[in-house]
Structure 1
Amino acid sequence: MMQAIRFRAQAELAGKVKVNLQQVRYPHYGRYLEEFVPGQVFVHPRAFTFFPAQMEAFARTYMQCNPLYLNDQYARSSGFAGLLASPQMVFNVVLSLGVQNDSEKAMANLGYYDAQYLRPVYPMDTIRSLTKVIERKERGAGKPGIVTIRTLGINQDDQVVLQYERKIMVAGQGDRPPTTPLPKATAMAAFPWVDEAEVALPDFPESFASGLTGPNSYFEDFAVGEIIVHANGRTITDEHLSLTYAVGNTHPLHFDRVFSSGLSGKMSGDPIVYGGLVFAWLEGLASRDVSENSVWELGFTEGYHTQPCIGGDTVAALSRVLAAEDAPGGLGSKLGIVTFQLIGVKNLSAANALAEYGEDLFGKENDKKAMDKEKIDAKIFEIERRLLIRKRG
C-alpha cells in the first residue's frame, strides 16, 4: 500500500552551514588482523538479485559454452526449472558481497578450499552472503597474519546454495585507527554451514537434448592422466575495472590506481585484476573442452592465485584429468564425475607453457621451494575441480 506525503521544498544550505574541520569522519572497511575474532559471524550487506540479463552477460563475458547458462529451453529439457546462473557467477557474487567485511584490507587471497555448490540459482533468485571467522594465526610483531574464514551463499528461501573456505593474509592495525565497527547485535547470527552436504539436483531425463553441445566432452572422453591444452587465450583490458563493480567487489586494489600505485612491492602499480575474474576467464577458456556436457559443477578445492594479473595480460588455460568415476546410485547409468586440475598461465600460449615447463607446470607453486625448484612466473592459477558430466549413451 502506498502513501502520499508532502515534504517541504528543498532549500540551498551549503553556504549557511559553517565548515568544521574538527568534525570529520573517515569511514573505511575490511578488518585488521586483531579485529578478526574466531567464531564471529559477519552478515554482509546488500545481497544480490540474479537478473536474467546479468546471468547471460556473465556467461558470455567469460566465454561459458555450457548451454545450461545460455539456453533456457535446454536447461528446462535437462530437468532444471529454468536457465541456471553459472557457478562462477554465483561464486564471484558470494565472495564479493563479503569483501567489505572480511577482506577489503587483505594483502592477499591465499587460497580457496572445499567449495561446494549445493543447489541451483535461477533468474530472480536473491542471494545473500555470510562469513564466519574460523581461525586467526598471528606470525609475530610487524608481520601480517593469516585468517581462515568460511563463507555461505544463501537464497531467499534460506537454503545454502554455495559454501567454501578461504584463507587471507591480513596486516595488523599498528597505529592506524580501527575500522568502521559492525552494528551491535544482541546475539551472533546463525551460520548454517552444511557438513557432509547433499546436493539438491533435479530428476534428470532419461535422455538429454542432443546436437547442442560439442562431441568431445562427454564422460567417456576423459582418461586419467590426460592433459588438455585449451586452444585460445584471452587478453584482459581495462574492462576488468567495471567487471569488478558488476559483481560487487569493493577492494580498491582492483579499481583504484591511486591506491594500487601507493603500495610497495610487486603489487604496486596498475590495479590488480580481481582473481575471481581471472578464475572465471580460465574456466571459460576450458569450458568447450571439459564442461560443455556437464550438468553440475560439484565444487573445487586447493585453489591458489600464484601470480597477479593486470590489464593487458593475456591468460590461457590447461586441464589435467585427475580422476573419473561413475556418479553415485541411479545416476551412474547416465552421468559420471571427473576431477580436473585447472592451470592458468599468462602472456604465452598454453601450448608454449607446456613445452617450456612440462610437468613442473602441474606442481603446487607453494611446494616448489621444498623441492628445490623455481616458481614459475608465468603461472597464475591452480585449482582442482569436480564436474558431473553426461555419458555419451
Structure 2
Amino acid sequence: MAKTNPGRFFEDYTVGQVIDHAVPRTVSGGERALYHALYPARHALYSSDEFARASGLPASPIDDLAAFHVVFGKTVPDVSLNAVANLGYAEGRWLKPVYAGDTLRSTSEVIGLKQNSNGKTGVVYVRIKGINQNDEVVMEYVRWVMVRKNNIDAPAPEAVVPDLKQVLSVEDLVIPEGLDFSNYDFTLAGEPHRWGDYEVGETIDHVDGVTIEEAEHMIATRLWQNTAKVHFDLTFRPDGRLIYGGHVISMARALSFNGLANAQMIVGLNGGAHANPCFAGDTVKCWTEVLDKAETGAPGVGAIRLRLVATKGGEPFVLKGENGKYDPNVLLDLDYWALMPM
C-alpha cells in the first residue's frame, strides 16, 4: 500500500468539499527577519514595535503578506500540488493582525469547478481561511487554480463558477482593533504623503527594480512550505522553473514603498491575476494606480484602493493591449485596499 501523497487531481474535487490542511505553524520574529531579507520590505508598522504601539497596536504584527504566505502554503499539498498555474484571487480580507507566537492553520472549501475544453485540466475554486490558536479566522480569500487531470477519461463535473464580488466595499473591511493614526510619525515612516495627497486616477511609477534570483525564490517558497512541483521540479516546466506568484506579489508590494510608504496595512484583496509567468532572471518593477478612497471611521485612518502592477520590462502604465489581453511584460495585476494615515 502506497504511503506517499501524489496530491489531488481535478477529478478528486467536489463542490462543497471541505479540506483541513496539515501542519499548523507557529510564527515568530524569524518569519519577519526572513521576509525582510527576501524582499526590500520596510513599512514602519511591520518593522517597529514602538511605531506599532504608537499606532494603537500591542506590537508590530507579522507582515500581512507573510501571514498570507503561511496560510497559502498550508493549502498547496491539497489544492495545487498538481497545478499548472495559480490563476487569481478575490474576496480577500485580513480580519485580525497576526503576531509572533500565533499559530496558524488553514482550511479550504471547494466552491467551484470547471473542466477546460482540452479535457486535460480544470479550474478549481476554493475559499481559504487562516485560523489562529484561538479558533479565530485571521484572514480569508478565494483563489482559483488550474489543476491537471490524472484520468483523462474521468467525466467532467457539472460546471460551477462562483459569483464573486468584483470589489469589496469599505464596509467589508475590518480595521484592526485600536488602530489609531492620529499621532502618526511621518518622519519615521519615511514619506510625508498622507491619504489626502492621493487622487483617484493618479498613477505612481515606483522606479526601483529587483532581479529575481532562483536561489532566493526557492528559499522563499520553502519558507512558506509551498510544495507545488512547478516551483522545484524542472520536468514539470522544461521552459524554466516557475517563480511562486506570491514571491512576485511580495516583491511588488515591497517595491511600492517608494511612493506608498504610508500605505501601511493591506486589509482587502479585491482581485488578482498572475498575468504572465515569471522566471529566474526576470527583473521586477512595478507601478500603481489609485482606484478609490474611503474614510473608515477609525481615528486618523483612511482606506485607499490601489491597483499594483508588476512588470518584467516595457514602459510603466501599460497594462493591456488593444486585444484586451495583458501586455506580455505584465506579471501581476493586483487590486487591494490598504490603510493610510489621513
TM-score computed with the length of structure 1 as normaliser: 0.77
**Are residues 1:274 and 2:244 paired?**
yes
**Alignment identity in percent?**
29
Structure 1 residues 25-56: Cα deviation after superposition (integer angstroms, max 9, x where no partner):
37234311110011111111111111112213
**1:16 matched residue in structure 2:** none
Q: What is residue 140 of structure 2 aligned with on the other side?
A: 163
Distance 1:282 1:196, change over 3 A: closer
- Given candidates 74, 87, 99, the residue that maps to 2:76 is 99
Which amino acid counterpart does residue 222 of structure 2 have in structure 1? Answer: Y
- Is 1:372 the counterpart of 2:334? The answer is no
Query: 5 Å matches for 1:143-292?
Result: 143-174=120-151, 198-204=174-180, 206-238=182-214, 239-257=216-234, 259-260=235-236, 267-290=237-260, 292=261
Q: CA deviation at 1:138?
A: 2.3
Partner of 1:321: 290
1: CA distance, partners of 2:78 / 2:336: 27
Give CA deviations for 1:43-90 in whole Å, capped at 9, x if unaligned.
111111111122132034221221111111111221111121111101
Confirm or deny that 1:385 pairs with 2:342.
no
* Larger gyration radius, structure 1 or structure 2: 1
Corresponding residue for residue 5 of structure 1 = none
2:274 paired with 1:305: yes
Worse overlay, 307-316 or 212-221: 212-221
Q: Distance in 2 between matches of 1:141 and 1:320?
A: 36
Distance 1:29 1:153 in 2: 24
| Separation in structure 1 between the aligned mates of residue 146 and residue 186 of structure 2, nearest angstrom | 47
Asked if structure 1 preserves the Cα contact closer than 8 Å seen for 2:17 and 2:109, the reply is yes
Cα separation, partners in 2 of 1:203 and 1:343, compared to 1, 3 Å = closer
**Residue identity in the other structure for 1:268:** P
Q: Which residue number corresponds to residue 342 of structure 1? A: 308
Q: 1:11 aligns to what?
A: none
CA distance in 2, matches of 1:215, 1:31: 47
Change in CA separation of 1:49 and 1:175 when aligned onto 2, cut-off 3 Å: same
SS at match of 1:312: coil
* RMSD of aligned alpha carbons: 2.3
Query: 2:119 aligned to 142, 146, 151, which one?
Result: 142
Question: Residues 205 and 388 of structure 1: is their aligned pair in 2 closer, same or farther, counting only changes over 3 Å?
Answer: closer
Name the SS of the counterpart of 2:242 in structure 1.
coil
When normalised by structure 2's length, the TM-score is: 0.88
Could you report, residue by residue, the CA deviation over 1:128-160 in whole angstroms, capped at 9, with x for unpaired residues?
011110111124572421111000000111111
Determine whether 1:353 maps to 2:315.
yes
CA distance in 2, matches of 1:112, 1:252: 20
For 1:353, give the aligned amino acid: E
Q: Deviations over 1:251-282 (max 9, x none)?
A: 1211223x33xxxxxx4332111110111001
Question: Is structure 2 residue 21 aligned with structure 1 residue 44?
Answer: yes
| C-alpha distance 109-271 of structure 1, shift in aligned 2 (>3 A) | same
Count of aligned pairs: 325
Q: Name the SS for the 2:66 alignment partner.
A: helix
